[in-house]
Amino acid sequence: MAGNTPIVEMEGIKKSFGAVQALRGVDLVLYHNEVLGLVGDNAAGKSTLMKVLSGAYIPDEGRIYIDSRQVNITGPEDSRRLGIEMVYQDFALANNLDVASNIFLGREAVRWNLGLLKVMNKRRMEQEARRLIDRLKIDIASVRLKVENLSGGQRQAVAIGRATAFDAKVIIMDEPTAALSVAAIGKVLELIRQLKRQGASIIIISHRLEDIFEVADRIVVLRHGRKVGDLPITGKSFEEVREQVVARIVGAADDFAPTSPTP
């Protein structure tokens, strides 16, 4: 583990959608300044678990602790106030807006607030966006560029940058390297390393085990809504890690009937 104290503790998390049990009492711990890989097959419940942490879903049972304090997360605003941000696979960017506007989307800097009429402080947002882009070493020439004109790797970088712009403690990334070129994947992985060097705690959901191996400290394996593995990476080869992960995904003992894929 990267740190010796937990920043996130999820205990006994359960979530059902009708007859489908997506999460069957999952425990998960994320330590300070750690990169944690979350893996499993398509019916594992990875995204469901992270949507519980980010406030998109409310669990049926279970407890969540942030910095050892039990919290009640009932929506995305709760998680944001706690310093938790999620970067979704589709980036959730507004293509018709520029980089600076996307970074501040929903949290715009206001110059004047006259009731229903608000005048945005465009200059301040551009300055803050430029500082953020430079701090994270993101290769974008101008924060005035529209997102629709950026490459896939640059869009992912903007989405990650937006998640870190407001003092996030925990950053969740859903398939951050999916559908990217080899060069773009390398840049995103370096951005994750950069975030860790700056003190962030990160959870990565990915089917690309080789990418997780490059940046993570530990891997948690889910299968059919249960945790079946918690594996440190340090000192192991990629082949060793892959064999252990596959063994847990394919060979974990089942004491319940197979279920339909979870959301």
118-142 pLDDT per residue, tens: 777 888 999 999 999 998 888 899 9
Residue 258 within any structural domain of the chain:
no
Residue 259 lies in a domain: no
Q: How far apart are CA 246 and CA 244, in angstroms?
A: 6
Q: At what angle do helices 122-135 and 152-164 cross, to 10 degrees?
A: 110
* Tokens read off for 113: 């607030």
The one-letter code for the residue type at 106 is G
Examine residue 1 and state whether it is found in any structural domain, yes or no. no
pLDDT band at 174 (very low <50, low <70, confident <90, very high): very high
18 Rama class: left (phi>0) / alpha (psi -120 to 50) / beta: left
Domain count, the chain: 1
Single pTM value for the model? 0.86
Whether 257 is in a domain gets the answer no
Residue 140 in domain? yes
Instruction: Answer yes or no: is 16 within a domain.
Output: no
Q: Would residue 53 count as lying in a domain?
A: yes
Residue 54 has pLDDT above 80, yes or no: yes
Q: Which residue has the higher pLDDT, 154 or 2?
A: 154
Tell whether 234 is covered by a domain: yes
Range of the domain at 88: 24-251
Answer whether 32's CB lies under 8 Å from 200's CB.
no
CATH code of the domain in which 68 resides: 3.40.50.300
Q: Of 168, 134, 149, 172, which Cα lies nearest the Cα of 56?
A: 172
